[in-house]
């Protein structure tokens, strides 16, 4: 994980996706102070592991204070070095600094994302703005820039190797991009903007989380009629955990989606759907619309101050796409075909509803329910028929096996050997070709205080520079609903795809083999590429035949059912694509403008009308709950990156197919060594060209989604 003043933007450090980037004076201590536990070097196996069993939230403020003092001291030691300025005593020294604060933020990230509670949120609200301002001050210190600039100006005379030169150039470019050339008063203004943004990011995240901790309580058995037995049991268990009698439907995607797919009660589908899509948009204390407007205003002010036309140009300066138009061009190539497919899907659903004499017109809360009816009619495939074959534990074994077959990796469970932050977290020792390369944490289940969605993070990244810390500590975090009463946890194909997706991120970082920490982080529009590639192996014959076994009988999934899955491979791709792309397009439209939006609701409505959003659908993430955009800068003007990455993913999957075997070890090793292991040591588009021999071709993503390919005829 990069230090805040390294080549990456400050917010890259945060595990929680929140910018943690007030000035705090380094006060000389009267006597030596003991280093807080959360900054101390980790002990135990695997080059040391986080001491989850000893961490107390109340200790964070003191740890943050100590971390800032230590960071300031490390930084001053570099700046005050009286020897001639060299790459080693400047860039290398910076790369070797900050290990203790990285340990602290690894622990903090888990508490703010996986273990949030009122105490954590109060600490977050107080300290993230302070940390933001402090680290921005370090980054903007003119003494630091002058040292880097001196080296940058002489770079051709320093005898640097390719990686050192790239690190130096990226460090210099990032400093310039983020304000190093500003005047003193402008730097003060920038720090104030970043500090206020950190505050607003925290506000947004906590408001959405508060709405996601609400639930809809069902009290009549008729309310859960038609729902799968295992799902009903999980809703009952959720209610009991809250001290309620009945069935509790949490206001999170993992609970809402299966309810919408299965409940014949249209009134309840609408009620639950409205609660879900209204998160952050209820006109109450947790309403986020004003927060979003303030974030947009601050982002535009920052972009202008830094010399960029707007936030989109600022955020995309260090991406593969480089500029907003290229991202929009890709999205608009796919959008018309996706909308056309939605119209076909709606027509099919309306026909089923009419045949059933439902007397309705398809609305957004009907889409998933009637889509399942169409799936059954068209392909004789019922999602609930599939679920017993997709046991969570079996799918975990499947993803491990696939990584072994492709990359020579092995995962041996050692839960109980190292501390964990929650009793249900599992751990696994990771080896590649017999050598230990990592420790993998798996936090699979939804619970109160855990943010929604799924994500991967690392507690420690690999680098060869320090001579240690080559054992990666990686974590996958999901929000599956556990099986009730000790029964196996059954997941949908979509959930299994999510499992493989997040594991693809872990594979990426576990296979990292870079010298310089500052060249470990890849551009935003490359990040999702390895994870999306990994999804492809889920539905391969080997994985299905080996791991898709019935939860009760143990029988493997019948070939007839596999054939139905394959036949329906592109089913609902219109819905999935429009749901995602509408969110991505609005993200870019919102940030690629000179005047920030003040009326968020009005913008969302008008922008969706402008692009022709089907009335039967809503965005995957409506703006009031769009954590990717407003709990930090991470994916802002960057949500397009999933499509950008999927374009490379589809093209890469074509490479495996062209090899004649999707398990081809030579292709897998080229993919691993050229694209996974190399971090950002070379330009990522150049690295892809080296792997594939050309740029990625958009036709493969169109084919993957079942859309017409311009210039090609269909049979």
> Would the pLDDT of 20 be above 90?
no
pLDDT at 21: 28
Span 476-494, average pLDDT: 92
Alpha-helix residue ranges (DSSP H) falling in 548-676? 559-567, 573-591, 600-611, 627-630, 641-658, 665-671
* DSSP H helices in 421-466: none
Rounded Cα distance between 286 and 621, Å, is: 17
pLDDT above 90 coverage of the chain, percent: 91
* Predicted confidence (pLDDT) per residue in 260-271, tens digit: 999 999 999 999
Nearest 5°: phi and psi at 192? -65, -40
pLDDT at 583: 98
Whether the Cβ atoms of residue 516 and residue 463 lie closer than 8 Å to each other: yes
Distances in Å between the alpha carbon of 698 and those of 394, 585, 645? 34, 18, 11
CA 103 – CA 124 distance, rounded (Å): 17
Q: Which residues contact 623 (CB under 8 A, 6 or more apart)?
A: 289, 292, 586, 590, 600, 603, 604, 629, 630
Please state, in angstroms and rounded to a whole number, the distance separating the CA atoms of residues 399 and 535. Answer: 9
Average confidence score pLDDT of the chain: 93
Q: Could you confirm whether 535 is annotated as catalytic? A: no
Residue 531 pLDDT exceeds 80: yes
pLDDT in tens, 80-122: 999 999 999 999 999 999 999 999 999 999 999 999 999 999 9
The alpha carbon of residue 191 and the mean position of all alpha carbons in its chain are separated, in whole angstroms, by 26
pLDDT tier for residue 527 given thresholds of 50, 70 and 90: very high
Average pLDDT, integer, range 355-372 = 97
Spell out a b/e string for 703-713, using b for 16 or more CB atoms within 10 Å of the CB, else e: bbbbbeeeeee
How far apart are alpha carbons 502 and 336 in whole angstroms?
29
What is the average per-residue pLDDT within 514-526? 95
Strands 435-445 vs 426-432: parallel, antiparallel or unpaired = antiparallel
Domains of the chain: 10-209 (1.10.1370.40), 215-277 (no CATH)
Catalytic residue among 74, 212, 429, 502: 502
pLDDT in tens, 392-410: 999 999 999 999 999 999 9
Range with the poorest average pLDDT among 224-228, 448-452, 690-694: 448-452
Structure-block tokens of residue 699: 């036709």
**Of 5-14, 38-47, 364-373, 459-468, which gets the smallest average pLDDT?**
5-14
Other C-beta atoms closer than 10 Å to the C-beta of 408 total 17
* Model confidence band, residue 24 (pLDDT cutoffs 50, 70, 90): very low
User: Which pLDDT score, from 0 to 100, does residue 696 have?
Assistant: 95
Mean pLDDT of 45-66: 96
Tens digits of residue pLDDT in 580-636: 999 999 999 999 999 999 999 999 999 999 999 999 999 999 999 999 999 999 899
Q: What is the pLDDT of residue 469?
A: 63
- In this predicted structure, the answer to whether residue 210 has a pLDDT above a threshold of 70 is yes
501: its two tokens: 């997706």
With H, G, I as helix, E, B as strand and everything else as coil, classify residue 445. strand
DSSP secondary structure string, 177-218? HTTTTS-HHHHHHHHHHHHHHHHHHHHHHHHHHHHHT-EEEE
- Give the model confidence (pLDDT) of 123-181 as tens digits: 999 999 999 999 999 999 999 999 999 999 999 999 999 999 999 999 999 999 999 99
Q: Kindly give the residue spans of alpha helices, DSSP state H, lying in 57-183.
A: 60-79, 87, 93-96, 99-113, 118-139, 142-153, 162-177
Q: What's phi and psi for 552, nearest 5 deg?
A: -100, -40
Report the alpha-carbon distance of residue 620 to residue 587 in Å, rounded.
12
> What pLDDT is stored for residue 26 in this prediction?
34
How many residues appear in the chain? 715
Residue 714: its pLDDT value, please? Answer: 52
């Amino acid at each position: 994980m990069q230090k805040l003043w390294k080549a990456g933007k400050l917010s890259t450090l945060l595990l929680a996706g929140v910018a943690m980037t007030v000035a705090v004076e380094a006060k000389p201590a009267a006597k030596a102070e003991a280093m807080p536990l959360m900054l101390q070097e980790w002990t135990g196996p695997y080059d040391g592991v986080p001491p989850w069993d000893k961490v107390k939230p109340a200790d964070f403020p003191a740890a943050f204070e100590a971390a800032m003092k230590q960071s300031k001291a490390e930084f001053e030691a570099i700046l005050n070095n009286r020897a001639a300025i060299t790459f080693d005593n400047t860039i290398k020294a910076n790369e070797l600094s900050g290990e203790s604060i990285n340990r602290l933020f690894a622990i903090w990230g888990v508490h703010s994302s996986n273990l949030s509670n009122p105490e954590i949120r109060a600490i977050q609200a107080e300290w993230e703005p302070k940390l933001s301002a402090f680290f921005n001050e370090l980054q903007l210190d003119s003494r630091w820039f002058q040292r880097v600039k001196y080296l940058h100006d002489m770079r051709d005379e320093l005898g640097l190797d390719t990686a050192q030169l790239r690190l130096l150039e990226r460090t210099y470019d990032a400093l310039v991009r983020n304000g190093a050339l500003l005047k003193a008063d402008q730097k003060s203004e920038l720090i104030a903007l970043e500090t206020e943004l950190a505050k607003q990011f925290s506000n947004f995240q906590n408001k959405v989380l508060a709405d996601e901790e609400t639930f809809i309580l069902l009290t009549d058995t008729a309310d859960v009629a038609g729902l799968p037995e295992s799902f009903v049991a999980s809703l009952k268990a959720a209610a009991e955990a809250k001290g309620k009698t009945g069935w509790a439907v949490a206001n999170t995607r993992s609970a809402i989606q299966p309810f919408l797919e299965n409940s014949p009660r249209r009134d309840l589908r609408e009620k639950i759907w409205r609660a879900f899509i209204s998160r952050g948009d209820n006109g109450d204390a947790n309403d986020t619309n004003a927060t979003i407007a303030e974030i947009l205003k601050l982002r535009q002010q920052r972009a202008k101050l830094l010399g960029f036309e707007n936030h989109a140009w600022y955020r995309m300066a260090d991406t593969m796409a480089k500029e907003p138009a290229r991202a929009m061009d890709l999205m608009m190539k796919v959008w018309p075909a996706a909308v056309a497919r939605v119209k076909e899907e709606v027509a099919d659903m309306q026909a089923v509803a009419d045949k059933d004499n439902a007397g309705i017109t398809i609305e957004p809360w009907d889409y998933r329910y009637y889509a399942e009816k169409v799936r059954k009619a068209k392909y004789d495939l019922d999602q609930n028929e599939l679920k017993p074959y997709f046991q969570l534990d079996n799918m975990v074994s499947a993803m491990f096996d696939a990584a072994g077959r492709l990359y020579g990796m092995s995962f041996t469970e050692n839960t109980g050997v190292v501390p964990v932050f929650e009793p249900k977290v599992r751990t696994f020792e990771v080896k590649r070709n017999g050598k230990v390369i990592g420790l993998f944490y798996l936090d699979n289940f939804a619970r109160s205080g855990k943010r929604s969605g799924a994500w991967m993070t690392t507690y420690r990244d690999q680098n060869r520079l320090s001579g240690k810390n080559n054992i990666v500590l990686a974590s996958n975090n999901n929000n599956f609903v556990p099986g009730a009463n000790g029964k196996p946890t059954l997941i949908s194909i979509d959930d299994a795809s999510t499992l493989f997706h997040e594991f693809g991120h872990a594979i990426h970082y576990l296979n990292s083999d870079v010298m310089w920490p500052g060249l470990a982080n890849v551009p935003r529009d490359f990040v999702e590429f390895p994870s999306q590639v990994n999804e492809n192996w889920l539905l391969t014959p080997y994985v299905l035949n080996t791991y898709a076994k019935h939860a009760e009988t143990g029988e493997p999934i019948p070939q007839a059912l596999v054939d139905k899955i394959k036949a329906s491979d592109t089913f609902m791709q219109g819905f999935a694509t429009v749901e995602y792309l509408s969110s991505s397009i609005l993200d870019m439209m919102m940030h690629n403008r000179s005047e920030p939006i003040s009326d968020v609701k009005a913008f969302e409505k008008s922008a969706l009308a402008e692009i022709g959003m089907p009335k039967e659908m809503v965005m995957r993430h409506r703006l009031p709950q769009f954590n990717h955009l407003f709990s930090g800068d991470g994916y802002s003007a960057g949500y397009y990156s999933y499509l950008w990455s999927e374009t490379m993913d589809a093209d890469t999957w074509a490479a495996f197919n062209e090899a004649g075997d999707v398990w081809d070890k030579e292709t897998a090793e080229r993919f691993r060594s050229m694209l996974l292991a190399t971090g950002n040591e070379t330009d990522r588009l150049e690295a892809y060209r080296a792997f594939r021999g050309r740029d990625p071709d958009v036709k493969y993503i169109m084919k993957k989604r079942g859309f017409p390919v311009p210039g090609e005829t269909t049979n």
